[in-house]
Amino acid sequence: MEDEIKITEVALRDGLQNEKKFIETESKFKFLKLLEEAGFNHIEITSFVRKDKIPALADAEEFSKKLNFNDDKSYSALTPNSIGLEKAIELGYKEIAIFGAASETFSKKNINATIQESIEKFKEVSIKAKQNSIKIRAYISTIIHCPYEGKIDSEKVIFLIEEFLNQGAYEISLGETIGLATSFEVEELLSKILKKFPAKLFAGHFHDTYSFALGNVSKSLEMGIRSFDSSAGGLGGCPYANGASGNLATEDLVFFLESSGYKTNIDLEKLILASKFIEEKLSRNLISKTYLAKK
């Protein structure tokens, strides 16, 4: 349906990995259940990387073992390499995510590889994923601004999109990593991308560092995008990006979409209960405006 929006809830992975406090596996699982009760079907669970690299997600395996992969939820895990992919497959994941950057410097700092090297690594992952009938979602970060390089050439984004589509990704999540892009810049980039590819291949992943995110969602909707990523309560951000105080809060996204006449199938009150639960565990105050106004 034209007016139904897919929301990928990223608080458990993208959110928690940038929170200082480690959340116990049991609490992560409770948070997941609360999110599911609110109606989420697409949930990013964790990341399979070296445990010392992202301590917040060091329990990736233990947490994943608690999941029921046979129900109708779409759980995904970040698998930057073949070892991670194998672990994900072994645990039962049917969807994985790979993660590239349109900025050379950001790629090196974030995943310790040049863009070309990262593509080669992802190719290996993708081939193996397809052999195992695993769905592939691809993130492209720093699509407009990079904290190190400034404005990014849209050709670099388009190059990565082509590459990931060739590797078999069913959806590309366009990551505006540092929250600096305005709706005018989003319009400029999307108009170039959508000349070449259909809108249904893309999700918008906007950070809300300076409150620009919903304006970018609005512009993306106007241009035909019907899939967005967000994080319950606005959890997380990006540890490598200066001042990136957080992902777009799912509360703000859902309330904006519903107020705009789109269907999300998310129960906002139940979502707020999930955020309240994790807020207590994190012992810090969430600042999503919709959350604050309605909690």
- Residues recognised as catalytic: 238
Q: Say whether residue 261 binds its own copies (CB under 8 A).
A: yes
Q: Are 16 and 23 in contact (CB under 8 A)?
A: yes
Q: Which of 72, 152, 138, 53 is nearest to 100 (CA)?
A: 138
Q: Find where tokens 């029921």 sit.
A: 68
> What are 110's two structure tokens?
């974030």
Pairwise CA distance, residues 218 & 199, whole Å: 14
Residues 40, 76: Cα–Cα separation, whole Å: 13
- Taking the complex as a whole, the smallest distance from the CB of residue 46 to its own copies amounts, in Å, to 27
Contact between 215 and its own copies by CB under 8 A: the answer reads yes
Span of 42-50, 110-118, 197-205, 209-217 interacting with its own copies by CB under 8 A: 209-217
Per CB under 8 A, 48 contacts its own copies: no
- Burial class, 259, CB count within 10 angstroms (exposed 0-12 / middle 13-18 / buried 19+): exposed
Tell the smallest beta-carbon distance from residue 32 to its own copies (Å). Answer: 25
- Applying CB under 8 A, the span of 87-95, 103-111, 147-155, 248-256 interacting with its own copies comes to 248-256
Q: Measured between alpha carbons, how far is residue 34 from residues 30, 153, 266, 275 in Å? A: 6, 40, 12, 9
The reply to whether 283 sits near its own copies by the rule CB under 8 A is no
Give residues 60-79 in contact with its own copies (rule: CB under 8 A).
Answer: none
51 binds its own copies (CB under 8 A): no
Q: Which is nearer to its own copies, 80 or 237 (CB)?
A: 237
User: Which residue in 42, 137, 219, 226 binds its own copies (CB under 8 A)?
Assistant: 219
SS3 category, 231: strand
Binding site for its own copies (CB under 8 A): 180, 182-184, 208-215, 217-219, 243, 245, 249, 252, 255-256, 259-261, 287-290, 292-294
